[in-house]
Structure 1
């Protein structure tokens, strides 16, 4: 048995056929078949049940599959860790990021990452969480970075960064002049400008409201907007108040256009998550990038 054979077996199992695996591995179909047969001879049992209509894993194959996957993941992680010493890691990194992450968090990190790994090219799509899930499911993206946990039977989540939402109000708003503690119930008496449904920022806010016993549907929503920039502009014009990530309003706060306020009885801390297909193996460039993000949190 060798690692190459495990890799081929795993690819055949995940792709569902020898021909699809051969195409993915840039091998001939007979070569793929031969390597799987060699692995079956090594274990002394059939790993795949073949028929004219379809191919299925045998009981032994189903047992071997998670071990094959773990061996591939360990190999990738090893390569990524050692590449850090030579900075010779290459590849194309395709990812999606929700709007807050893609517009405000990643830009300050991509520059240093590019200087450290100049041979990795990055293709970043900025979209909402729902769209990211759709593109991952259709294999258009390797993985995504999202602002709130989601449940999907075919995908796996991993926390990679931390963030916090704060109440954002216009500089001339009554709450901006308050020096005493401000509580959630009185905040909800004011009209809000919110991100659209499907936004990670909005989901986090609504989840915390539910935990605190408030109905998100009772919020006086005067406007729903599709970008954080539009929400900030609306707040600056005194159209309403909002909840946004700290990282998105640093410039406006410094200029005195808006004020960031703590809510005494509610915390809107959250994680940013990477999400990928459960059955997919990330390329080494993606593993390295996610490790880079985690390191920046320490």
Structure 2
């Protein structure tokens, strides 16, 4: 018996078939079947009851499953513990990322990561959360980074970075000389916002509702489908907005926009990593996520 066999057994159980497990593990179906049979030979009992339509765990398989899960969790903890010492790692990461993370957060982190780990290459695709989950299911991505927590029975979702929305005003606005304003003061002005359903919009509205405010009283003069369009509209003086400071670094440096703190309100949110539950992340992926956790706030 070895860890590889336990991992294969667990994956077959999670996926419900040998063919789906083979796809998840990047193995051939005969190889998966052979490893499960070797494990059954070791214990001298069947771990699955097979039929023409599906496979289900036997009593012995149900007994083994929590031990297999513990072995996988221990291997994940081992990789986490050793990731700090793996500077000569080689590998290729296929990463999916939502818009704000991919366009504004990751670029400033990829350069120092490349210097620290020169033999790990990162291939980044920017897409929405649904597309990321679909490609993880098809095993076309190593993992994804998303802006809103989701639930999926086949996925592991864990917080990896924290972000906070701030009030963004035009550089020549009457609030631009203020370091801090009250929420009530800010809401006296019209707002340009991302479209309904966006992660940024949802964080803002949830905090306003928590403060007992009526969203109908918010003066939304424009709803736009991209962060870039929102920034341009605010620069033009059409209204204020709430965005992550990471998205307006360039405009703030040029004096086109100003970041203003809002007293008495916190618009914090988490960014999450998501990956297939039955697949162990390669250690260079664990190293990348640990790097993000450590350097995201630098």
What's the CA shift string for 1:29-71, capped at 9, x where partnerless? 1x54343233234334431111122211223323433432442
Distance in 1 separating the partners of 2:187 and 2:134: 33
Q: Is contact 2:203–2:269 with CA below 8 Å preserved after alignment? A: yes
Is residue 104 of structure 1 aligned with residue 143 of structure 2?
no
Question: What SS is found at the alignment partner of 1:230?
Answer: helix
Q: Is contact 1:104–1:248 with CA below 8 Å preserved after alignment? A: yes
Distance in 2 separating the partners of 1:28 and 1:97: 31
Which residue of structure 2 lines up, in the alignment, with residue 125 of structure 1? 125
Distance in 2 separating the partners of 1:111 and 1:269: 26
TM-score if structure 2 supplies the norm length? Answer: 0.85
Which residue of structure 1 lines up, in the alignment, with residue 14 of structure 2? 14
Which residue of structure 2 lines up, in the alignment, with residue 239 of structure 1? 238
Relative distance call for 1:38 and 1:132 in structure 2 (3 A) is closer
Q: Which region of structure 1 is more displaced relative to structure 2, 257-266 or 271-280?
A: 271-280
Q: Is contact 2:148–2:272 with CA below 8 Å preserved after alignment? A: yes
**Superposed displacement of residue 13, structure 1:** 2.4
Which residue of structure 1 lines up, in the alignment, with residue 39 of structure 2? 39
Which residue of structure 1 lines up, in the alignment, with residue 172 of structure 2? 172
Relative distance call for 1:121 and 1:10 in structure 2 (3 A) is same
Which residue of structure 2 lines up, in the alignment, with residue 267 of structure 1? 266
Q: Is contact 1:191–1:240 with CA below 8 Å preserved after alignment? A: yes
**Superposed displacement of residue 174, structure 1:** 2.6
Distance in 2 separating the partners of 1:216 and 1:153: 33
**Superposed displacement of residue 82, structure 1:** 4.2
Q: Is contact 1:184–1:266 with CA below 8 Å preserved after alignment? A: yes
- 1:1-298 maps to which residues of 2 (within 5 A)? 1-22=1-22, 24-27=25-28, 29=30, 31-75=31-75, 78-79=78-79, 82=82, 84-137=84-137, 139-178=139-178, 182-297=181-296
Question: What SS is found at the alignment partner of 2:53?
Answer: coil
**Superposed displacement of residue 131, structure 1:** 4.0
- Dislocated runs of 4+, deviation >6 Å: none
Q: Is contact 1:170–1:257 with CA below 8 Å preserved after alignment? A: yes
Structure 2 runs not aligned, ≥5 long: none
Distance in 2 separating the partners of 1:282 and 1:198: 30
Q: Which region of structure 1 is more displaced relative to structure 2, 117-126 or 103-112?
A: 117-126
Distance in 2 separating the partners of 1:133 and 1:33: 27
TM-score if structure 1 supplies the norm length? Answer: 0.85
Q: Which region of structure 1 is more displaced relative to structure 2, 236-245 or 129-138?
A: 129-138
Structure 1 runs not aligned, ≥5 long: none
Distance in 1 separating the partners of 2:99 and 2:92: 21
Question: What SS is found at the alignment partner of 2:148?
Answer: coil
Q: Is contact 2:16–2:55 with CA below 8 Å preserved after alignment? A: yes
